[in-house]
Amino acid sequence: MSTVFRPYSEGDSLRSDRSAADRKRHREKLRKALKENIADIIAEESIIGRDRDRIIKVPIRGVREYRFVFGENEGGVGTGDGSTKPGQVVGQAGQKGERGPGPAGSDPGVDYYETEITLDELVEIMFEDLELPDLERKRLRQLLADRTAKRQGYKKQGIRVHLDRRRTVRSKIRRKIAAGPPPATEEGEPEPFGFRKEDLTYRRLVEEPREESNAVVLCIMDTSGSMDRLKKYLARSFFFLLYQFVRSKYENTQLVFIAHHTEAKEVTEHEFFHKGESGGTLISSGYKKALEIIEDRYHPDHWNIYAFHCSDGDNFESDNEAALEAAARLCEVCNLFGYGEIKPLGSHHYDSSMLEQFKALDADNFHAVLIERREDVWPAFRQLMAKDRETAG
Amino acid sequence: MSGWTLAELERWDERIREKVAEFGLDCYPQEFEICDQNAMLGYMAYHGMPAHYPHWSYGKAYEQTKTMYDHGVTGLPYELVINSDPCLAYLMRDNSLLLQILTIAHVYGHNDFFKNNFTFTSATRAKDTLAAFKTRADRVRRYMEDPSIGADAVEAFLDAAHALALNRNRNQAIRRLAPEEQRQRVLERARPRPDPFAPLHKRPQPVEPDLRRVPLEPEYDLLLFIRDHNRALADWQKDLLTIVDEEARYFLPQIETKIMNEGWASFWHHRILGSLDLPAELHLEFLVRHNQVVSPHRGGINPYHLGFVVWRDIERRFGGEGSAEARAKLFAVRESDRDVAFLRRFLTRELMEELDLFTWKPRGEHLVVSEISDEEGWETVKAQLLARVGTGSIPVIAVIDADYRGTRTLYLRHEHDGRDLDIGSAEKTLAHVRTLWGHKVHLETRLKGRPALLTSGPDGFDAKLLV
């Protein structure tokens, strides 16, 4: 029997994108996995404070298909170049999936993917399940900043300046034509056809509130000696989320960085995250600086103000009262004022905490969270937003 | 097209077939289909099958294969051949003329292997391959479209079934015992042996075998066992288990003979192209391509390479190239062996030394060479290699009891061979078993040398050491 050759057919090929549906389903699952792993992903330092259009590679542990497999510590067999000696290093642990020692085809394989997505997409996925449209509307409606008048239709009564002359004259002409030719008079001089009250037409004006769409995020961070790299990093993750969130909701978003130890100053983003200061902590100084800036530049009637403070809570005791008072004032001017206490695991035993102090603060838009490790950042943020949603709804 | 016409391919195929007949290869009728890269990747995702049931894992396979090719892989680019009668293979439109010739010759090697190797002849029916995949696809689609079942339920059930697909009887040439035969065997084993020293000591009390126990003997076909013993399963669920098991049955021979099969095809494409009197520029490309295909993977095993080298060595040792004895030996081995036996019998110490085979172990952050193929080490290296080829990379799991302590709990045992299970995967896989079984599931295994029991129950997963 002779061999059959079936030639290439373009039509077949076009029709036969048969894996399309399965690929789509796979991507859906991947996206879901991405969402579930978001806490890990946003905890990666590299994406914080980056450009939104930037494409980032997110290593995710794919959508795995599980089977019974042997553990990774079991070693394997490989081919050498002829000079292999016992004790020689032939690879790095944890890269097994890439050049998997072991016969190809029977290797269970490690399902690590790198998915490329833009930061924007990531943020979108992140906020997709926060479901906050109500919050947005409510917050925006609160700010009726400018009032402008706008024409909308006509009316028969009004003040002189709103008189629409064209319509008034038209109305008179219409009436005149309807009345027919004027009766002849002896004198030959026709009676002038005058304006009557019903001819007068005025413009109707309505006042329209313009919705403000400005927001400012005040990032306040404790940069005292007790804030080590890890603590700052956790704080940074939180600020990143807050900023991205606010930015996704408002047209014009500004960022203010306030670093404080015993005194506070406004700094650039770079300084904020990279400069280490030393010394003690007066939390009230940071709050006062924030209030100052708000008063100077961001009037609460024009701006949505989000303030967030990260600290390890290691405040001078004498300052607690002042801090509390300043926090209360911040709550009055802010849409949301949050406090994140950053205590890497195990450190709360010996440090003092502001969480206790803030319990005395009675404001709907205040929220305090505790962050102990990287994985807490996202849940803490969600919690914060959930609280916000409650008060907004 | 890349510098070739269909007529040209047919002419080359004719010449190749002459050689195939001359060398005595025994093939099914062959069919080639020319396709473009997209279609090729599509076929590869579905194991080459023109019809296959849908599942997201094939979408994932597509993406993975695509990534692999985008990054450049070794082996024969876009070689895909199906174990069916007639044998179906795909040729990538954009490949060069030489690559098409090489692939055609390579495919005839596979074709011969499919038709003659015992793992294929005992477990698959090549005549029905395509039709069987088609009917299975139709069945799954029907369940997905059935409003009382739905695509989501089918998907979830397939997810679970796929997890256990390879935990089945490996040597499919061994006949399954009927229940009555099993009973007989259990009784036979329980009968006391004749004891020449009976007068000297007390006879041990014969233990009465429990004939009500399910299963009577450890059972290795997990999916089929669950299908036959979980009465709560709906018909469509049982059918899905059958479908997944049938597919695994079809693919198992390919897993069991990966090294032999690829080595055999490489051996023959090398021999055939070497005898075709290729024009100089084609010949040069042939040498380059062939060396790419059979180049060793440093630190790993390239089945094309290992298989090719061993087949060549067999030919050399049993009479040399072209001799009738060597030919007879080659054909006998390709019929009777699978990878484990093939390497055990024919991978000699000299060859291992030449290949510089070694074992490695993780130590800290590094993978470190532990043994090499020298005087002291080669046996260890060989033993480790044998434990890992074919289905050796799949842990052996047996059903011991379907009604453990009278609670409908499924009791599984991992037959520990020195390698521990990966606990993370075991946890997730046990959850799948539980989905299929509907009750609690135990898995007995060993962790770091101590017996352990893994449990998936209503309270989630639990692992505890037994001692």
The strand pairing partners of A79, in sequence order, are: B298, B357
| Region for B362 from its dihedrals, namely left if φ exceeds 0, alpha if ψ lies in -120 to 50, beta otherwise | beta
Say whether pLDDT at B102 is over 80.
Answer: yes
Query: Is A155 strand, coil or helix?
Result: strand
Per DSSP bridges, beta strands A214-222 and A202-211 are unpaired
Same domain, B225 and B339: no
- Tokens linked to A299: 């009037």
Tokens 């037959």 appear where? B415
Sheet order of strands, B87-92 included: A4-6, B30-35, B87-92, B80-82
Same domain, B242 and B280: no
Q: Is residue B79 part of a domain?
A: yes
Say whether pLDDT at A347 is over 60.
Answer: no
**pLDDT in the model for residue A137:** 41
Same domain, B219 and B288: no
Same domain, B24 and B61: yes
Nearest to B34 by CA among B10, B56, B58, B53: B10
Chain A residue numbers with beta carbons less than 8 Å from the beta carbon of B261 are none
Same domain, B147 and B236: yes
Q: For residue B419, give the DSSP letter.
A: -
Whether the CB of B379 is below 8 Å from some CB of chain A: the reply is: no
Same domain, B130 and B251: yes
**pLDDT in the model for residue B299:** 82
Taking residues A58-64, report their average pLDDT.
60
Query: Is A150 strand, coil or helix?
Result: strand
Residues B421, A99: C-beta atoms closer than 8 Å: no
Cα gap B306→A78, rounded to integer Å = 11
Say whether pLDDT at A282 is over 70.
Answer: yes
Same domain, B244 and B156: yes
More confident of the two residues A296 and A208: A296
Cα gap B436→B231, rounded to integer Å = 11
Chain A residue numbers with beta carbons less than 8 Å from the beta carbon of B384 are 75-77
Cβ within 8 Å of residue A64, ≥6 positions away = A111, B428
- Tokens linked to B411: 């009791």
Taking residues B45-51, report their average pLDDT.
88
Q: Kindly state the greatest CA–CA separation across chain B.
A: 88
> In this prediction, what percent of chain A has a pLDDT beyond 70?
66
Contact A195, A172 (CB under 8 A): yes
Report how far apart, in Å, the C-alpha atoms of B301 and of each of B65, B222, B306, B339 are.
Answer: 19, 30, 7, 13
Cα gap A293→A266, rounded to integer Å = 9
Say whether pLDDT at A198 is over 90.
Answer: no
The strand pairing partners of B82, in sequence order, are: B88
Q: Is residue B451 part of a domain?
A: yes
User: pLDDT tens digits for A366-376?
Assistant: 888 888 877 77
Same domain, B425 and B461: yes
Domain coordinates of chain A in residue numbers? 24-64+111-129, 133-143+212-392, 146-180+193-209
Per DSSP bridges, beta strands A336-342 and A304-311 are parallel
Taking residues B27-31, report their average pLDDT.
96
Residues A66, B163: C-beta atoms closer than 8 Å: yes
Chain B, window 299-338: residues with a beta carbon less than 8 angstroms from a chain A beta carbon: 299-303, 305-306
Q: Which helix (H) or strand (E) holds A367?
A: strand A366-371
From B435's Cα to the closest Cα of chain A, the distance in A is: 14
Residues B6, A5: C-beta atoms closer than 8 Å: yes
Same domain, B457 and B375: no
Cα gap A316→A222, rounded to integer Å = 12
Same domain, B239 and B333: no
Q: Is residue B371 part of a domain?
A: yes
Complex confidence, ipTM? 0.90
Tokens 């950053």 appear where? A342
Q: Between A and B, how many CB-CB pairs are < 8 A?
A: 268
Cα gap B323→B315, rounded to integer Å = 9
Q: Is residue B130 part of a domain?
A: yes
Q: For residue A193, give the DSSP letter.
A: -
Residue B434: CB atoms within 10 A of its CB come to 19
Burial category of A189 from C-beta neighbours within 10 Å (exposed 0-12, middle 13-18, buried 19 and up):
exposed
Taking residues B383-402, report their average pLDDT.
94
The DSSP code sequence of B41-92 is HHHHHTTT-SS----HHHHHHHHHHHHHHHT--SSSTT-EEE--SSEEEEEE
**pLDDT in the model for residue B168:** 93
Contact B434, B425 (CB under 8 A): no
Same domain, B242 and B264: no
Q: Is residue B288 part of a domain?
A: yes
How many domains does one find in chain B? 4
**pLDDT in the model for residue B101:** 95
Nearest CA in chain A to B385: A77
Contact B342, B333 (CB under 8 A): yes
Query: Is B193 strand, coil or helix?
Result: coil
Cα gap A215→A139, rounded to integer Å = 11
Q: Is residue B175 part of a domain?
A: no
Whether the CB of B384 is below 8 Å from some CB of chain A: the reply is: yes
From B277's Cα to the closest Cα of chain A, the distance in A is: 22
Cα gap B48→B456, rounded to integer Å = 36
Same domain, B138 and B240: yes
More confident of the two residues B170 and B337: B337
> In this prediction, what percent of chain B has a pLDDT beyond 70?
98
Residue span of the structural domain in which B334 resides: 6-117+257-346
Nearest Cβ partner for B36 among A8, A69, A70: A8
User: pLDDT tens digits for A216-254?
Assistant: 888 888 877 777 777 777 777 777 777 777 766 666 778
Tokens 């078993």 appear where? B433
Cα gap A207→A151, rounded to integer Å = 9
Average pLDDT for chain B: 91
For chain B, state the CA radius of gyration. Answer: 25
Nearest Cβ partner for B300 among A24, A71, A100: A100
Burial category of A50 from C-beta neighbours within 10 Å (exposed 0-12, middle 13-18, buried 19 and up):
exposed
A157 pLDDT band, cuts 50/70/90, is confident
Own/partner long-range contacts of B186-191 (Cβ < 8 Å, ≥24 apart):
B186/B211, B186/B216, B186/B217, B187/B211
Nearest Cβ partner for A107 among B359, B381, B393: B393
Q: Is residue B446 part of a domain?
A: yes
**Cα of A10 vs its chain's centroid, Å:** 47
Amino acid at residue number B160: A
Helices (H), B217-338: 222-229, 235-256, 258-274, 280-293, 303-317, 324-336
**pLDDT in the model for residue B175:** 84
User: pLDDT tens digits for B122-145?
Assistant: 988 999 999 999 999 999 999 999
Chain B residue numbers with beta carbons less than 8 Å from the beta carbon of A77 are 301, 357-360, 381, 384-385, 388
Which of B425, B430, B444, B456 to probe the A interface (max A CBs under 10 A)?
B425
Say whether pLDDT at B202 is over 90.
Answer: no
Tokens 């293979």 appear where? B89
Query: Is B203 strand, coil or helix?
Result: coil
Say whether pLDDT at B265 is over 90.
Answer: yes
Which CATH number applies to A133-143+212-392? 3.40.50.410
Q: Is residue B452 part of a domain?
A: yes
Whether the CB of B68 is below 8 Å from some CB of chain A: the reply is: no
